[in-house]
């Protein structure tokens, strides 16, 4: 049984079907395919807040069957989303463009509320959000480099965040849409970067290291070089 199907089964067993608005599966693993650097990104939307929900969800995540599953769970409430409004939608530091991203998520349970109530963003709003995201993800990398995490964990996360920064840059420059994030492989994204002339050839030549599994100090320095080159652009 695939891990997302096992999680779906546990969610329905733990929460009444009446309370589960939707369980969505999204992210790199869902859209592009499994790879070593990708978690299982899941979003559970329940009807309204109950103080026991977070503990019940924690119990599922701690289930022995999911111990090595790299589950990345998000919990939201429909009542909160309606109260704030979709223009103010946010998960942690991720802004309203994530609402658009979730419109294309894979539905495991219920109905995708984000798709049925689509969000419209004009180019100025989208540019502002992408600028914020680039700064946020660049800062996440700094935090990782200056943490006590082991090199393998830093490699994994910094590569992922740098790929995300490249996506944000392409969306910002109208070379890619949010929907295309869910469809395009990293190789195809890198091809867009190459054909757009956004980055110098010496930088483009290094892009493949963002999808390799090599974890050594030299490679990490190359990734840092790429992160900075993209950020400066």
Separation between Cα atoms, residue 176 and residue 50, nearest integer Å: 39
Determine how many CB atoms are found less than 10 A away from the CB of residue 90. 13
- Mapped onto helix, strand or coil, the DSSP state of residue 41 is strand
Separation between Cα atoms, residue 171 and residue 127, nearest integer Å: 8
Question: Is residue 24 within 8 Å of 106, Cβ to Cβ?
Answer: yes
* Residue that has been written with the tokens 């480099």 in this structure: 145
Rounded percentage of the chain residues whose pLDDT exceeds 70: 93
Query: What pTM was estimated for this model as a whole?
Result: 0.78
pLDDT given for residue 67 in this prediction: 65
Structure confidence by residue, pLDDT tens digits, 59-100: 888 876 776 667 888 999 999 999 988 888 877 766 677 888
* Residue that has been written with the tokens 């790429």 in this structure: 226
pLDDT given for residue 38 in this prediction: 66
What is the mean pLDDT of the segment spanning 211-224?
A: 81
What is the mean pLDDT of the segment spanning 1-27?
A: 90
What is the mean pLDDT of the segment spanning 179-194?
A: 90
pLDDT surpassing 80 at residue 133: yes
What is the mean pLDDT of the segment spanning 207-216?
A: 82
pLDDT surpassing 60 at residue 37: no
Selection from 50, 49, 52, 47 nearest residue 20 by Cα = 47
What is the mean pLDDT of the segment spanning 147-153?
A: 86
Residue 29 confidence class, pLDDT cut points 50, 70, 90 = confident
pLDDT given for residue 33 in this prediction: 64
What is the mean pLDDT of the segment spanning 183-188?
A: 89
What is the average pLDDT score of the chain? 88
DSSP code per residue over 60-125: HHTSGGGTTS-EEEEEEEHHHHHHH-GGG--BTTB-THHHHHHTTPEEEEE--HHHHT-----HHH
pLDDT surpassing 90 at residue 47: yes
User: Which residues are CB-neighbours of 26 under 8 A, at least 6 positions away?
Assistant: 41, 42, 43, 101, 102, 104, 105, 106, 182
Q: What does the block give as tokens for 160?
A: 């992922």
């Amino acid at each position: 049984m695939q891990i997302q199907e096992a999680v779906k089964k546990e969610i329905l067993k733990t929460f009444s079907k009446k309370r589960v608005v939707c369980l969505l599966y999204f992210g790199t693993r869902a859209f592009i395919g499994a790879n070593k650097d990708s978690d299982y990104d899941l979003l559970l939307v329940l009807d309204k807040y109950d103080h026991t929900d977070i503990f019940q969800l924690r119990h599922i995540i701690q289930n022995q069957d999911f111990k090595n599953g790299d589950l990345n769970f998000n919990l939201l409430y429909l009542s909160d989303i309606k109260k704030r409004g979709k223009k103010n939608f946010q998960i942690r530091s991720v802004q309203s463009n994530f609402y658009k991203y979730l419109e294309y998520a894979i539905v495991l349970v219920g109905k995708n509320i984000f798709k049925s109530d689509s969000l419209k963003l004009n180019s100025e709003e989208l540019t502002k959000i992408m600028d914020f995201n680039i700064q946020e993800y660049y800062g996440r990398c700094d935090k990782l480099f200056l943490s006590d995490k082991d090199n393998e964990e830093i490699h994994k996360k910094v590569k992922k965040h740098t790929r995300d920064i490249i996506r944000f840059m392409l969306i910002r420059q109208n070379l890619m849409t949010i929907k295309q994030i869910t469809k395009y492989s990293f190789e195809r994204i890198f091809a867009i970067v190459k054909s757009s002339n956004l980055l110098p050839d010496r930088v483009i030549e290094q892009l493949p290291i963002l999808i390799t599994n090599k974890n050594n100090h030299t490679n990490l320095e190359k990734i840092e070089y790429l992160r900075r080159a993209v950020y400066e652009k």
